[in-house]
Structure 1
């Protein structure tokens, strides 16, 4: 039985010897330096089948080349004891076989190697075993070169945009544009337009293009920047405008006008109708452009007073009656709680008959500072303070008995000297009445006076005296005296029975 030993790249068949034979052992140790051996070789071509692309494979063929002169003539493997070759396959490499058995020389046995990770891998012969005589020299070690796969794609380009993005793709601040260019398969050989850029002025659209080339080809990437960092414009107005006092007395419409020279106006206002009264009102309008910039405007100082001033007639009341000489002082009151009184109302009194009768007091011409006008009027009556007839005439229902043709002093008071023009036109008058029922039976006749003085006033007695001259022909009849004053009150009546 023989074993195969490897020394200095060669494998030897060594016969078993007695451990005591020192000389023979030393001779055997020196033997590799003096004899020849069969060669284990392969067909590796440097730069050829020793090189693959990651993911690919290559085939290397192994054979034994007989050299002779190693103590056994001819091919060691064909002596009936085959040679077994064991390959050392490193991690990352896959081989179709790692053990080869040779029974003859100069016959190639192929082994296919593959690897997916680029790198250099040492493929070596771990052992050559042959139980027969003869020696072997290993000349089949080689390095498997695994190359990265070829680049078939151009660089990947991405734009890096930094800025404040508003609406609709518009930037509303300065914008920085930079580029990331990568190609994991091959080096970038050239770049154009890929330098960083800053956009610090408004633009409707500025396009930047980065172009890069690698072994995989050329690629380009473009980005267009729209920048509008300028706020829109807005102005407002109120219609109708105020009067000279700064007030309106009707609804006010506030309108806004907006503008934007680049991205354009997206919204404006809104317009607003002010209908409520109040001082110092204001409306805020906002303009927004399509980029999202905004601006506001305030239309203020709007004063609205739609309420006329309050006008009152003072001193007298609607429908009231006052005695002549005791009428309250009539005046006007004007007030306005919002804009204030600009022009107070002035008084005018119409109607009446001298100092008595029905009067209308009008307060007109009032204006507030908003231009609202107002007026007020009151109708009242001034009458005489009539207290009935005095003696010698008795008041109704008494039937006064007098002699026909006599002058009857008809006395009464009006609450002071009211002058002598106190009777309604054509009065006093008289008419015939039925002496039993008191109903009149003939037309009213105008009275005649005794002498030429019909009416007089006695200040000391605050008394009026009307001298009623009767006619003798009235004897045996009854008459009613009708005294109608010019103050609009009802007639004052007294009944008389005339004797002959």
Structure 2
């Protein structure tokens, strides 16, 4: 029964004779001489709400009825606002619900509202019952009820990790999702995330993404009213590895000849974020530098689009062509020289094209290997003055390096002569003196 006006009768609205499960809603009941609303005769589980009951003898009377609910009504200036007869057939009748629904408005309620919550601070008590949450104002319950929640929550994503360049991370990414509902909403029920937009995972806290390359992250939240946020997404880009560098030529510790033509061969690649740059000072030319003898170090530095940088270095050596020790010394160690006299130690150096090398630096050292004579072929000594120090001189007429070794300071036996070149190589030959 709803939206009726009952006025100037003996009783306004009657619910009796085993009338059960009725709803008396939104009616105006006024100026009736006896009862505004009368619930009686074993009527049960009826609901009375949103009615305005005013100017009646008794606003609401419950007699011999049980488990009825009377709440969110305006009781205004009734001679007696409410009365519940107490007997064995009258029980379980309530005049309020839990907040925020609350109870009724009673025009003669005089308790203060110290906390300004729209409710009297003390229950409203009447004959046979009470209202635990009496509203101060007319229809006060409507102002307290939350509006209908039709707005979905919103979710913000927070990413943390080591940021590189061009929206790439060079570490794993920690993902945090923070969902909030609208101010008057029902609150966030759940947040979900997905990596394919179809298989969803319940978000329970920050999680880590380690997948290399580009990974699409999807997320959404749902509030307690069932409103589902539109799916949001963001591309996650992770590249923790530097570019790959391959130097095919020169190989590390490779040896080449002076003035040899050797074409550099190297490459760089990055399969994740892509190669941004790769450069080398000594390998950018088509041919390697073989103009100078001894050790050379070349490096390639590469950077990918994420900002990972790597450098790879190789070392190669440039050598002379050593023509071998010249006569009168046999390279097989068979030469035997007399103790009195001098020995000419000589050799020639060439480049890769067979040209004489005239500006090398060579030194001679020697050591005794044994007191026995291992050689078998007697060689002639010369009377030329011995060389000073241990550095070879260059004979431009014969295009050879030479050193005059005095045998006088040697003792009989087998000796090893060592020729050390400034290209880092050492050549040895054995002689015997007797």
Q: TM-score range by the shorter chain?
A: 0.5 to 0.7
CA positional deviation for 1:417: 3.3
2:321 is paired with a residue whose SS is coil
From the superposition, tell whether residues 396 and 370 of structure 1 become closer, same or farther in structure 2 (CA, over 3 Å): same
Which of the numbers 132, 150, 163 marks the counterpart of 1:229? 150
Q: How does 1:472-491 map to 2 (within 5 A)?
A: 473=408, 480-491=416-427
CA RMSD of aligned residues (A): 4.7
Q: Name the CA distance, whole Å, in 2 between partners of 1:241 and 1:483.
A: 56
From the superposition, tell whether residues 257 and 469 of structure 1 become closer, same or farther in structure 2 (CA, over 3 Å): closer
2:241 is paired with a residue whose SS is coil
Deviation string 1:257-278 (CA, Å, 9 cap, x unpaired) is 2222221122234244211111
Q: Name the CA distance, whole Å, in 2 between partners of 1:292 and 1:303.
A: 33
From the superposition, tell whether residues 314 and 153 of structure 1 become closer, same or farther in structure 2 (CA, over 3 Å): same
CA contact (8 A) 1:345 1:375 kept: no
Does 2:243 align with 1:309?
yes
Does 2:386 align with 1:467?
no
1:228 is paired with a residue whose SS is coil
Count of residues in Structure 1 that have an aligned counterpart in Structure 2: 291
CA positional deviation for 1:395: 0.9
CA contact (8 A) 1:310 1:335 kept: yes
Which of the numbers 377, 381, 393 marks the counterpart of 2:317? 381
1:344 is paired with a residue whose SS is strand
Does 2:219 align with 1:282?
no
From the superposition, tell whether residues 485 and 464 of structure 1 become closer, same or farther in structure 2 (CA, over 3 Å): farther
Gaps of 5+ in 1: 1-150, 161-176, 180-188, 193-206, 439-445
From the superposition, tell whether residues 496 and 437 of structure 1 become closer, same or farther in structure 2 (CA, over 3 Å): closer
CA positional deviation for 1:255: 2.2
CA positional deviation for 1:310: 0.7
Match for residue 347 of structure 2?
A: 411
CA positional deviation for 1:413: 3.7
Q: Which has the higher strand share?
A: 1
Match for residue 153 of structure 1?
A: 17
Gaps of 5+ in 2: 1-14, 28-34, 39-48, 54-58, 73-100, 102-144, 193-202, 284-288, 376-384
Deviation string 1:237-265 (CA, Å, 9 cap, x unpaired) is 33348544121111112322222222112
CA contact (8 A) 2:322 2:350 kept: yes
Match for residue 291 of structure 1?
A: 225
CA contact (8 A) 1:157 1:210 kept: no
CA positional deviation for 1:396: 2.1
Does 2:250 align with 1:250?
no
2:360 is paired with a residue whose SS is coil
